Structure 1
Amino acid sequence: MKKQRKKIVCSLLSSTLIWGFSTVALAEEPEELFALEEVVVTASRMPTKLSETAANVTVVTRDDIEKGNYTNVPEILGQTNIVLESNSERIPESSPLINGDHRVLILIDGRRINANTFMNGTQFGTINMNLLPSVKNIERIEIVRGPASALYGSDAAGGVINIITRQATQEDTTVYSEFGNWGLRRYGFTTENKVDGFGYRIAYEHKDQDYFEYKDYKTGEIKRMPNSSIDEDALSLRLDKELSGGRSLSLAFDHDDSRDGSYHQPPGMPYYMPETYKKTKVNNVALTYNWPQGASTDNMFRIYRNDSSYHWYDWGYAMYPVAEKERYITDKVFGGEWQQTRRLNDKHTLVSGADWRRSHVKWLAYDIDNTLSNRAVYLEDRWKLDDRWIFSSGVRYDKTNTFGGKATSRFSLNRELDKNSNAYLSWGQVFRTPLANELYGGGGGSVGNPELRPETGDTVTVGVNTQLSDDTKIQASVFSSRIKDAIRWSPDANNLYAPWTTENVANEKRHGGEISLVHELSPQWNVSVGYSYVKIKIKEKDEIDYHEDPDNAQPQGYRLQVGYNQDKWNAGVTLRGATGRDLQAFASEDYWVVDLNANYQMDRDTRAYLKVYNLANKAYDVRGSYRDIKLPGAYPMPARYIAFGLERHI
């Protein structure tokens, strides 16, 4: 069996090298990268051991979050192999890329929160990452690479990020504050309690920041970004009530109110906005009822409401007068979902469910008032062929008010090599319906196109997880995907300020993979290394052949983390980088950034921490600008950022 396991590992690593892994890999992943007996829920919509999950899954635990001193979800994801394509307007306003794909579904406790229109300056920016639940209320984050349209529907082409929130367990109240450069002031509290089957957990936070600085890649000069202030209040609430017979009821509410500068690009760039500012309000609420029934588990019925409004004032570019001074968009979503998991016998477990979602989008400046709705049913059978083989097959049918019906399928095969290793093969179809602003215009000056077709395609993934020894673990996978009728926004090459058009202009091919290794050097020291590779080729309308995509943010990505934990100290340093980027879209072919964090347990109830991002003060960007008529360096990332915080239980 050991020989068989080694052959499979070697075969997969060889495939990785053949597909382009030509550089020594160093990458970081959370310490509990794939504890094989750990249970995950996102990949199959039911609790499944990682060793029986046919997907590349990364789990960020509560312990990882606390050790890293993270204050928002983008900070957490930025320390994994997830690429966050920031538009530089606010770091959290980022579009996550999985396998080089923007089409990523974001869930909170399994509930979809992607909007049906764009919410920031990125092409697929349907989620403001800053408006997610407080980090203090997050129990874990599960990241699944590969398509999940057959389970979750539209937007799950590249992968799924599921943020799982915490339930109250005991009486506790914590206050915290954080201060840093650029006038950062952040403070908040959490409080929780559980009595007689009723629990509540509340988190409130206020954040102010006067501006941020960036390093000019041409001159090396540190510059202040004008009009980049942040003023934000956020509240997260979760109530849980245990009922009789194993039933339970949960109410979740998230609120965010922010008032921010909206410069978009640095001074001197065509889209620099010196006076524009933005107000954002988000109120998301969900009520979930869980119940057992016979041999089934995880039965659930949920209704939810997601309300978002974005109001831009004094809209206009420094280099071009704009008559329109105000833009206002609202996206009001109402939805419901039902899911039931039933174990038919020792071999078959069925997951079935239904979704209904209605989104009402308004762009007041463009007189746009449209409704997008979708109804769906899905079914997946998890078939345990024997003690080592598991075969899963599933299908989902979506019925939209704009594009009719569409069925998507997926299949996977998982093989347990031994108690510490598994290998898998999966195939899934891709389906993404156009957003409201892509169909009707408004977002980013787009004129819209009601004749757009949905994007379709499929992805194949092969992977292996193995524990070589008690202190060394490896996770590796390779993938290949195809997208047909890819939707792109196209600017006018002769007029930067003319409305962008939206069309099904391209077919896309992606292939690549990643490998990660976690090794415990001693009880105090651990190291994580890894490497990712993504090659994207596109064939645009009227082109005969494919060419490489210049906007590929991370053709080759690297992470290295060294962690230390002893007595009252916990510390870590992370090196992250990328190579092979196109100079038509980016300021440099590569970048290397060092981050560090340390925390000290002053006493039983008090913890102090320090974190530094971009320690070496490097100039770099992570969002390409090829489609912005070749403006490399148009979206610079912040310079060195230092913050100090205190947290105390009272």
Structure 2
Amino acid sequence: MKRIIFYILIFIAFNMQSQTTLDTINLREVKLVESRFNTYKNSREIIDVDSHLIGYNNISISNYLNKNSMIFIKEYGALATPSFRGTSSSHSLILWNGIPINSIANGLSDLSILPINKLNNISIINGGNSSVFGSGSIGGTINIDSNNKIYFNPKKTLLINTEIGSYGFSSRTLSIEQFSNLLSLKLNINEINHQNNFMFKNLAKAGHPIEENNYGSLLARQEQIDLTYKFSDRQYFIANYWHTYFDREVQTNMTTPNSDAKQFDDNNRLLFTYKSLMRNIGLNLKQAYTREKFRYIENSKSIDSKYTAENYITDLDFKYYKSYYLFNVGMSFSNKIMINNNYIENEKKEDNYTIFSAVQYERKFLKINSVIRKEYQEAYQIPFTPLFSLDLSINERIAFLAKYNRVFRSPTLNDRYWFSGNSIGNPNLKPENGWNQEIGLIFNNDNIYISGVLYSINIEDWILWHELDNGNWTADNIKKVWSRGFENKLQINYKYFRIITNYTYTKSTSQLPTSNLDYTVGKQLRYVPCHKANFSIIYNKNNFKLLLNQSYTSNVITNYGVEDKYLKGYMLTDISFQYNIASNPINLQLDINNFSNVEYQTYQNYARPGREYRFSINYILEK
């Protein structure tokens, strides 16, 4: 009841403030100094999330990417982790406004706790970019940009979203955007409650009985504030805050009859940015603070694992523009503090220093990037990470792309200091490192976009947890992996229709045996599909929008042996309907996920839901 009253008061205040504004104004978006994410991309290399594919319903980034990108998402228990180009989940770097938010404990980022909405722009770069972004950017990078819409003309927008769905799903969202001549303010509040009580066929039991997933509920909250103040046309101050809280029952696998495991994630992210452009000199100064509180409880097994991780980041970036050249020098410092009850010394601190230098040459038909990065860490030696990329426009419609760069991933704190049960970390680990190579062609005119990319990634000193002779487990740099493949994208726009297809072929193999009984050499890595494809068709006319999406994932190896074990491939179909009521600022949306009610798994013995319905009512007011 209190929440309803709160929404009503916000609604009344918004309308009272808006009475003096008579017309909706078309605004010009402000872009002052581009981020590194946009500066050092190859032309058209960044893939932006299509707003037509999101709608207004609440979905996680993992759900969206699994069905609309070339990324494979593994969903198991309470986690959903990405895999780019046949690499591991820890080889995917997640950024928030250019700041890394991967866990400093294990290097992963759980995409199931990163909700997606129209306030944020989600951009994806396939392929390694450690020279630009640092550790972990080996397979690919995802940037969540909450500063994508900054305007300085009077405008106010209100969005109230209420959504219900199958398996006990409900959510509520309040979004406010307010712009003036000097100030840009965006606020988003979201709550999700999901019982997740779907029926499934238990393939691990004799007779494959139908059972209910009665343990896997989710309670989530999110608050997001983005504020930009304009000192002048060339100076801006930006403040971003993002809080997410998740309380989850950890879904059991089919072989476990009962579980009492719970997981709690409480993340706070704060970022201050100052941007200035003085003649041909650009300055970008960032100060960020992130805090990650994690707790995993399983009383039946006497497990209570918890940690608090804090990261203080200072990033300074200078750009000098001269004729066709851009000279860029940057430096950053991070101070990490970890308190973990699974380490011998519960508290660990780690400092990291980075120097970054780049030169870019750009003409109408040509862009060349040359980048060098060096990071310093007391515990281990991080290699120089150079990058060279070429973007050549053969004519107005065809472009040739090429990139050659070094990639690396530093060992995580868990890899080095874990001490619990029969698992012991290794403080002498080296960073994983390798070389990324790719070439591609792009065809682009007004209605058709076609891209094709060939890539190869060689990774050495891959960190692997393995069993010792005494029965304990530890981490070592003992694996060498070669991942190669082909990516293709096609987009066609015709009148009221848009067609989007993605296809990727991935061959990712282990190149060296890790023991005398290693069966994996030359074989596809576990949980890496050779083929992944998706197809979307969007019909958008007047007040009606129809979306049909089909996604295919081929089989994956789950266990090696004389006869390898596989998880079968699957194809999913989703349908979405949206209708805007012309006489009212109301949007109705109906989503049907897994329309064909396919039984599938992305990780062995973890059931996934069948056909699912989601319906939302959205009140959208612009003044």
Question: What TM-score, normalized to structure 1?
Answer: 0.82
Provide the residue aligned with 1:100 in structure 2: 86
Q: Provide closer, same or farther for how the CA distance between residues 608 and 226 of structure 1 changes in structure 2, counting only shifts above 3 A.
A: same
Whether the 8 Å contact between 1:310 and 1:328 is mirrored in structure 2 is yes
Whether the 8 Å contact between 1:398 and 1:405 is mirrored in structure 2 is yes
Q: Provide closer, same or farther for how the CA distance between residues 442 and 572 of structure 1 changes in structure 2, counting only shifts above 3 A.
A: farther
Provide the residue aligned with 2:542 in structure 1: 567
Say which SS state the counterpart of residue 150 (structure 1) adopts: helix
CA–CA distance in 2 between the matches of 1:42 and 1:226? 48
1:638 to 606, 609, 613: 609
Provide the residue aligned with 1:464 in structure 2: 441
Pairwise CA distance, 1:492:
7.9
CA–CA distance in 1 between the matches of 2:186 and 2:66? 26
State whether structure 2 residue 601 is matched by structure 1 residue 621.
yes
Q: Provide closer, same or farther for how the CA distance between residues 193 and 44 of structure 1 changes in structure 2, counting only shifts above 3 A.
A: closer
Q: Provide closer, same or farther for how the CA distance between residues 460 and 567 of structure 1 changes in structure 2, counting only shifts above 3 A.
A: same
CA–CA distance in 2 between the matches of 1:131 and 1:583? 25
Pairwise CA distance, 1:369:
2.0
Cα displacement string for residues 429-470 of structure 1 (whole angstroms, at most 9, x for unaligned residues): 011111111111168974211121110100100011102x54
CA–CA distance in 2 between the matches of 1:354 and 1:371? 20
State whether structure 2 residue 489 is matched by structure 1 residue 507.
no
Provide the residue aligned with 1:350 in structure 2: 327
2:313 to 329, 335, 343: 335
Provide the residue aligned with 2:459 in structure 1: 483
1:529 to 493, 497, 501: 501
Pairwise CA distance, 1:187:
0.6
Cα displacement string for residues 271-295 of structure 1 (whole angstroms, at most 9, x for unaligned residues): x761121222111111111111221
Say which SS state the counterpart of residue 557 (structure 2) adopts: coil
State whether structure 2 residue 617 is matched by structure 1 residue 649.
no
Question: What TM-score, normalized to structure 2?
Answer: 0.86
2:227 to 239, 243, 248: 239
In the alignment, residue 588 of structure 1 is paired with which amino acid? L
CA–CA distance in 2 between the matches of 1:387 and 1:600? 42
Provide the residue aligned with 1:259 in structure 2: 247
1:132 to 114, 118, 123: 114
State whether structure 2 residue 409 is matched by structure 1 residue 409.
no
Q: Provide closer, same or farther for how the CA distance between residues 379 and 252 of structure 1 changes in structure 2, counting only shifts above 3 A.
A: same
Pairwise CA distance, 1:216:
3.0
In the alignment, residue 537 of structure 1 is paired with which amino acid? T
**394-403 vs 539-548, greater mean Cα deviation:** 539-548
Q: Provide closer, same or farther for how the CA distance between residues 142 and 440 of structure 1 changes in structure 2, counting only shifts above 3 A.
A: same
State whether structure 2 residue 149 is matched by structure 1 residue 157.
no
CA–CA distance in 2 between the matches of 1:259 and 1:540? 41
Whether the 8 Å contact between 1:167 and 1:201 is mirrored in structure 2 is no
Say which SS state the counterpart of residue 582 (structure 1) adopts: strand
Pairwise CA distance, 1:605:
1.0
Is there any run of 5+ residues in structure 2 with no aligned partner, and where? 1-30
Provide the residue aligned with 2:77 in structure 1: 89
State whether structure 2 residue 129 is matched by structure 1 residue 148.
yes
Note the 1:547-562 alignment, pairs <5 A. 547-562=522-537
Whether the 8 Å contact between 1:84 and 1:97 is mirrored in structure 2 is yes
Pairwise CA distance, 1:211:
2.4
In the alignment, residue 127 of structure 1 is paired with which amino acid? S
Pairwise CA distance, 1:303:
0.5
CA–CA distance in 1 between the matches of 2:332 and 2:421? 30
Pairwise CA distance, 1:96:
1.3
CA–CA distance in 2 between the matches of 1:225 and 1:444? 29
State whether structure 2 residue 426 is matched by structure 1 residue 418.
no
Say which SS state the counterpart of residue 264 (structure 2) adopts: strand
Q: Provide closer, same or farther for how the CA distance between residues 560 and 134 of structure 1 changes in structure 2, counting only shifts above 3 A.
A: closer
Say which SS state the counterpart of residue 536 (structure 1) adopts: strand
Between the aligned residues of both structures, percent identity stands at 17
CA–CA distance in 2 between the matches of 1:600 and 1:446? 54
Whether the 8 Å contact between 1:437 and 1:446 is mirrored in structure 2 is no
Provide the residue aligned with 1:58 in structure 2: 47
Note the 1:356-505 alignment, pairs <5 A. 356-367=333-344, 368-384=346-362, 387-441=364-418, 446-467=423-444, 470-490=446-466, 500-505=473-478
Whether the 8 Å contact between 2:124 and 2:143 is mirrored in structure 1 is yes
Output the aligned Cα RMSD: 2.7
CA–CA distance in 2 between the matches of 1:433 and 1:448? 14
Pairwise CA distance, 1:378:
0.7
In the alignment, residue 287 of structure 2 is paired with which amino acid? I
In the alignment, residue 471 of structure 1 is paired with which amino acid? N
Pairwise CA distance, 1:349:
1.1
State whether structure 2 residue 612 is matched by structure 1 residue 612.
no
Cα displacement string for residues 102-146 of structure 1 (whole angstroms, at most 9, x for unaligned residues): 31111111111112112xxxxx5x2222443652421x2221111
Whether the 8 Å contact between 1:250 and 1:288 is mirrored in structure 2 is yes
Say which SS state the counterpart of residue 353 (structure 1) adopts: strand
CA–CA distance in 1 between the matches of 2:401 and 2:32? 16
Pairwise CA distance, 1:373:
2.1
CA–CA distance in 1 between the matches of 2:525 and 2:307? 31
Q: Provide closer, same or farther for how the CA distance between residues 129 and 443 of structure 1 changes in structure 2, counting only shifts above 3 A.
A: farther
Whether the 8 Å contact between 2:158 and 2:620 is mirrored in structure 1 is yes
Is there any run of 5+ residues in structure 1 with no aligned partner, and where? 1-38, 119-123, 317-321, 624-632
The structure showing larger relative contact order (alpha-carbon pairs under 8 Å, at least 6 residues apart) is 1
Note the 1:219-298 alignment, pairs <5 A. 222-244=210-232, 246-263=234-251, 265-269=252-256, 274-297=259-282
Pairwise CA distance, 1:198:
1.3
Q: Provide closer, same or farther for how the CA distance between residues 315 and 334 of structure 1 changes in structure 2, counting only shifts above 3 A.
A: farther
Say which SS state the counterpart of residue 380 (structure 1) adopts: strand
In the alignment, residue 128 of structure 1 is paired with which amino acid? D
Query: How many positions carry a matched residue from both structures?
Result: 573
Cα displacement string for residues 247-282 of structure 1 (whole angstroms, at most 9, x for unaligned residues): 01111111122211023x32424xx76112122211
1:519 to 477, 492, 502: 492
Cα displacement string for residues 365-386 of structure 1 (whole angstroms, at most 9, x for unaligned residues): 44432122211011111124x6
Q: Provide closer, same or farther for how the CA distance between residues 152 and 230 of structure 1 changes in structure 2, counting only shifts above 3 A.
A: same
Whether the 8 Å contact between 1:390 and 1:415 is mirrored in structure 2 is yes
